Amino acid sequence: MSGICITRGSGQTIINYRPVVRDFLNFRFTDGEVSLAQLRAVDVTDFVQKAISRLNMRRAKIITTALRSFLSYVRFRGDITSDLAAAVPIVANWSLSSIPRAIGRDEVTRLLASIDRDTPVGCRDYAMILALARLGLRSSEVVSLELDDIDWVAGQIRVRGKNGQRNDLPLPADVGEAISDYLPKARPRNADRRVFLRDKAPIRGSKGPSGLGSIIRRSLKRAGIESPTKGTHQFRHGLASEMLRGGASLGEIGEVLGHRHLQTTAIYAKVDLDALRTLALPWPGEAQ
């Protein structure tokens, strides 16, 4: 990129755009001299197709926006005469375009089996991860659970969802056993009403879901599991996928996951093609 200086735009914009421009020029000119006058539309489309093939929608849009801005800028400077910015493909933000990445049932079993439940930390981590996997809870819903949210007599658990929404869910027996094992044996004595407390001072409930995310990453690494992601949502997606394959309707899945709109749940229909076919309308004129 010798002789080319990108100085327009805010500091953060320059930080985001500079690597994209560098990669584009390296792609076109490799280690040779950069000659912007030699750029052609095919150079632009080939780079974009290669660059965004394995990226999520947000990152792909950053790349196309950065490239379009750069090409407009160098045309304004007179380095190129063609409107190559128009050759940058548009990244379509199709609704339901991505399939949730879910951890498999066998991996969940391996992960839970790898936790040492004889230690206070292991006892807590096992109960938290089991709640993620069996109830499909968000990480924020797990860390915000309070002692009064569990109705041991009715076998229910009250979950605080998004926007203050509260859902009463059946408490699976194994989750109830894991929590009841943790409370008297491993939970520190503390006035905090949160179910799950930190193991280090200050002893209290977690202020956010990041702590649970760290627990998941450490547990996956210890178990030697290469999961699709390192976050907590893979358990939520895994439960939804299993329910779908087990014959549950999208409405039933949405009720368990606390979705307010069916469209939010509809993305899981893409996980199982056999289930997806049952949702397809017959082709006009097709024999019934």
- How many CA atoms lie within 13 Å of 105's alpha carbon, on the beta-carbon side? 8
Question: What is the total residue count of the chain?
Answer: 288
DSSP, collapsed to helix, strand or coil, labels residue 283 as: coil
DSSP 281: P
Between the alpha carbon of residue 165 and those of residues 141, 230, 257, the distances in Å are 11, 27, 12
Terminal-residue alpha carbon distance, the chain: 63
Compute the distance between CA of residue 266 and CA of residue 50 in angstroms, rounded to an integer.
30
Q: Which of 22, 162, 230, 260 is catalytic?
A: 162
Compute the distance between CA of residue 233 and CA of residue 108 in angstroms, rounded to an integer.
13
Q: Which of 28, 187, 236, 237 is catalytic?
A: 236
Q: Which of 28, 259, 260, 270 is catalytic?
A: 259
Question: Does 259 qualify as catalytic in the annotation?
Answer: yes
Q: Which of 68, 117, 124, 233 is catalytic?
A: 233
Residue located via tokens 């006035």: 191
Where is 73: in which H helix or E strand?
A: helix 57-77
Question: Does 110 qualify as catalytic in the annotation?
Answer: no
Give the long-range contacts of residues 226-231, CB within 8 A, separation 24 or more.
Answer: 227/103, 227/107, 228/101, 228/102, 228/103, 229/101, 231/139
Question: Does 185 qualify as catalytic in the annotation?
Answer: no
Q: Which of 138, 182, 187, 237 is catalytic?
A: 138
Compute the distance between CA of residue 288 and CA of residue 52 in angstroms, rounded to an integer.
43
Question: Does 162 qualify as catalytic in the annotation?
Answer: yes
* DSSP character string of 111-153: HHHTS-TTSHHHHHHHHHHHHHHHH---HHHHHT-BGGGEETT
- The residues annotated as belonging to the active site are 138, 162, 233, 236, 259, 268
